[in-house]
Amino acid sequence: MPDMEDFLEKLEDNALTALTEYNFVVDAHSLDYVEGQNEVHDEFKLVDVTLDSFGQKNITIRAMTNGDSTRNALRIWYLPWKRWDENPQNATSGLSKAVLDEKGPGIFLTSQLTGCRFSIQYDSGDMTKATVLHLAGNFGENAKGAKARESLETDALGPLPTEKTLRRRYSIGKYSKNPKFMPLPAEGVRTYYDGGMATVLGVRGKDAKWRFFAQQYKNDEGAFLSTKEL
């Protein structure tokens, strides 16, 4: 396995190839919550992370601590998930939102998807600026939950753009009757994938375009399936 510098060069040159070689799992406990406060969700942020067991096939990404070496550390953009609390006064409680452009690090990560939806809205066809959403899985893995996420997505992003491929949607969970992977429809309609969880990463390439990838697992972190570009 290459060292961190080799990996980052490969990630910038061909992210899909790089992410096919390494499987990442998110340590949501260390990344999703405000430090020192139990179960309080944090906001979109710059964060220093450590890649545990780098150089092996399965790598855990967690928040860096004072005792960690900088050898396998990165600064990235991180978007925590937020639990939907069913209170009508907190209509956006299940929504996390971020804007990615030319500023800051060229690596983005969001909390592990388990029944959640990840939505991408590019500002234009050059793909250099994107608004991304993480919509909570606890809306429910059923038609009612999907409808709630659909409504919240529309409120956050507005109507589907004229150039419909500017919006991409990725949902994880056992929705589809067909267990096989399905290609992303040209019109940008939501696509369901088989499996129980996924790691979603964004990479800004040398061409300044943001591209997003899902590393899919079955129902546990050790049962890796595949890496797909969204």
Quick: pLDDT tens for 55-101: 667 788 999 999 988 888 999 999 998 876 665 555 557 889 999 99
Higher-confidence position of 192 and 127: 127
For 144, the domain range is 4-229
What is the band of 170 on the pLDDT scale with cuts at 50, 70, 90?
confident
What is the band of 212 on the pLDDT scale with cuts at 50, 70, 90?
very high
Higher-confidence position of 108 and 8: 108
Quick: pLDDT tens for 10-25: 888 889 988 988 888 8
pLDDT of residue 184: 44
Tally of domains in the chain: 1
The answer on pLDDT for 176 being more than 60 is no
Quick: pLDDT tens for 177-202: 444 444 444 444 455 555 678 889 99
Q: What is the mean pLDDT of the chain?
A: 80
> What single string gives the DSSP state of each residue in the chain?
---HHHHHHHHHH-HHHHHHH-EEEE-HHHHSB-TTSTT-B--SEEEEEEEETBTBSEEEEEE--TTS-STTEEEEEEE--------GGGTTTTEEEEEESSSS-SEEEEPPBSS-EEEEEESSTT-S-EEEEEE-GGG-SSHHHHHHHHHHHHHHH-SPPSSGGGEEEEEESS--SS-S--PPPTT---EEESSSEEEEEEEE-TTS-EEEEEEEESSSTT-EEEEEE-
